[in-house]
Amino acid sequence: MYSKAKLAMALFIASEASFFALLIVAYVFYHGQPQNGPNAADSLDIPTTTFYSLCLFSSSATLWLSERNLRRGQYDRVIAWLVATIGLGAIFLYGQGREYLRLFHNDVTISRNLFGTTFFTLTGFHGLHVLVGLCALAVVAGLVLRGLVRERQAEAVEAVGMYWHFVDAVWVVIFGIVYLGSLV
């Protein structure tokens, strides 16, 4: 028997992947064209973003640890690892906010040129997904804390986990194409 929640989440992720694919295609399409004004190579701070990206990537690991403890019924650890996950995700968002501020100070905005347009749209939608994920994880943490989630409901929590891992995976692609891609 399939889990309804996990199947639904897998389908939702497939549809989200289709959405992000178009944003990425738009970025790559315009990145390949010569343009005036700022571009990825002269605007992005790769070392700093690498640090914040590692925070996001490691949050997938902490979430996995949380899920594993849920299956074992060790709820204290479930909450501890969930809090760690939310913390790491929040640090990533903080880093993204700082980067945006720095770019705004350098007059790199969504309306400046096509780099700004595609960069802020792509990373902005990803950031929004991180924020939604943090809200979902906070709800899960609250439910576990109040004793409303037990092993039986582990699948629902795993569905939220699938979403979080997906958001991480999207960042792997974006970081690779937008940040590391600007080096070559």
Partner 1 sequence: MKGHEFTEGIAGLVGERERVGWFSHEGLLGWVASVDHKQVGLMYIVAAFVFFGLGGIEALLMRIQLAVPNNHFLSPETFNALFTMHGTTMIFFVAMPLLTGFTVYLVPLMIGARDVAFPRLNAMSFWLTLFAGLMLYFSFFAGGAPSAGWFSYTPLSEAAFSLRSGQDYWILSLIVAGIGTVAGAINIIVTVVTLRAEGMTMKRLPLFVWMNFVNAFLMLFALPVLNAALVMLLIDRQLHAHFFTPASGGSALLWQHYFWAFGHPEVYIVILPAFGMISEIIPVFSRKPIFGYEFVAASTVAIAFLSFTVWAHHMFAVGLGHIANLFFAVASMSIAVPTGVKIFNWTATMYGGQLRFTTAMKFAVAFIVMFTIGGLSGVSFAVVPIDWQLTDTYYLVAHMHYVLFGGTVLASFAGIYYWFPKFSGRLLSERLGSWHFWLTFVGLNLTFFIQHILGMMGMPRRVFTYPALPYWAAFNMLSTIGAFVLLIAMLVFLYNVVMSLRYGETAGDNPWDAWTLEWATTSPPPVENFVRIPPIHGRRPLWDLAHPELADELGKVDA
DSSP 88-150: HHHHHHHHHHHHHHHHHHTT--TTT-HHHHHHHHHHHHHHHHHHHHHHHHHHHHHHHHTT---
Burial environment of residue 73 by CB neighbours within 10 A (0 to 12, 13 to 18, 19 or more): exposed
Q: Which of 7, 41, 135, 148 binds partner 1 (CB under 8 A)?
A: 7
Give the contact letters, 94-123, x = binds to partner 1 (CB under 8 A), - = no.
----------------xx-xx-xxx--x--
139 binds partner 1 (CB under 8 A): no
Q: What is the nearest approach in angstroms of partner 1 to the Cβ of residue 17?
A: 8
* Gap between the Cα atoms of 121 and 110, Å rounded: 8
Q: Tell me the per-residue interface mask from 15 to 44 with partner 1, x by CB under 8 A, - otherwise.
A: xx-xxx-xx--x--xx--x-x---------
Interface residue list for partner 1 (CB under 8 A): 1-2, 4, 7-8, 11-12, 14-16, 18-20, 22-23, 26, 29-30, 33, 35, 110-111, 113-114, 116-118, 121, 125
